[in-house]
Amino acid sequence: MSTYTVPDGPKALRETLSLAQTALFKTDGLYSEIKNHADRLQRLIDECERKRPTGFDGTHGDRHTPECGCEAGLVVEDGRDGRRL
């Protein structure tokens, strides 16, 4: 397990990683190597999803977490709105 600190929020990072994953499958190369890179990107995408969950329609809605990057997420983190963390 590793910890990374990047200036990008989970929404933007997920969009970039998804785009890279799609582009990866359009490149020439050994399928097993491409699959390994795509799987690694998917794990990063999954981590973005954990930080900023989305529903079946792809929207974040009110699924805030302390790490989602929304102002409402910060309120959840502080517990000021009375919700459980």
**Binding to Zn ion, residues 3-62 (CB under 5 A):** none
Task: Give min distance, CB of 80 to Zn ion, in A.
Answer: 15
Task: Give min distance, CB of 65 to Zn ion, in A.
Answer: 7
**Binding to Zn ion, residues 55-74 (CB under 5 A):** 64, 68, 70, 73
- Listed in sequence order, the residues at least 6 apart from 60 whose beta carbon sits closer than 8 Å to its beta carbon are 11, 52, 53, 54, 68, 70
3-class DSSP state of 18? helix
List interacting residues with Zn ion (CB under 5 A): 64, 68, 70, 73
